[in-house]
Amino acid sequence: MKQETRAADYDAIAFCGLPQQEIRHLKSVRFALYVFFLWTAGASSAQTSVNQATETQSAGLSAPATAEIEQATVEIEHLMETFHQAVVSHDGARVSSMFIDDGSTWFNVLSDAAYARLRVKNPAVLKVRHSSFQEFAKFVSSSHAALDPQHSNTQIHTDGTIASVYFNFVFVIDGKPENQGSETWQMVKASDGWKIAAITYSSNPNVPER
């Protein structure tokens, strides 16, 4: 009752001295605004519910099992060791078998310091050189030098289907470090196991001083 009296008092103050027709119009406007407020509040609540449902559904998507990721990591580490052994034994065919046959990429990127040094000897040298695993495999097979690609600080990120591998390397030829830098492999799990889809590495070759 107290609330009704206050409402009536408010109306009396708000509409004091206005014609009845104007009062009815203002009350209609106020009622329409009240209805609109209730509708927008309801729509906002409904949208929030939809968003929460979507988030819940997304959160419910199955994530790769820990065991699957651990197994993939072991398989990738094994492939890296196989790669090393294939290079050491000059087995170019085995090196080639570890790559996606069609579409694999290979980029050698000189560091700024190495690029500056090499330009002194050859102004036409490229800072970014596109090559291929076939070219590397041919080098491995034909070289008579002792080859030893050494990897360290290896980081493997995978969901069990694709993977990214990042590590530091030193490429040793006949017992001497001839190149070093950082290297990244992009990998995919094909029907016959893990394959390398792309290799990119920074290059700091051992350039003899003039």
Q: Which domains does the chain have, with CATH numbers?
A: 2-59 (no CATH), 66-203 (3.10.450.50)
Please tell me the distance from the alpha carbon of residue 110 to that of residue 190, in angstroms, as a whole number: 31
pLDDT in tens, 12-39: 444 455 455 554 554 554 555 454 444 4
Most confident of 6-10, 16-20, 25-29, 60-64: 60-64
Its pTM stands at 0.69
pLDDT score, position 24: 55
- Whether residue 132 is predicted with pLDDT greater than 70 in this model: the reply is yes
* 191 CB-near residues (< 8 Å, 6+ apart): none
pLDDT on residue 165: 98
Upper half-sphere CA count for residue 83 (Cβ side, 13 Å): 20
Rounded CA separation 205/166 (Å)? 19
Q: What is the average pLDDT across 56-76?
A: 76
pLDDT in tens, 146-172: 999 999 999 999 999 999 999 999 999
Which one is predicted more confidently, 12 or 206?
A: 206
- Give pLDDT, residue 62: 60
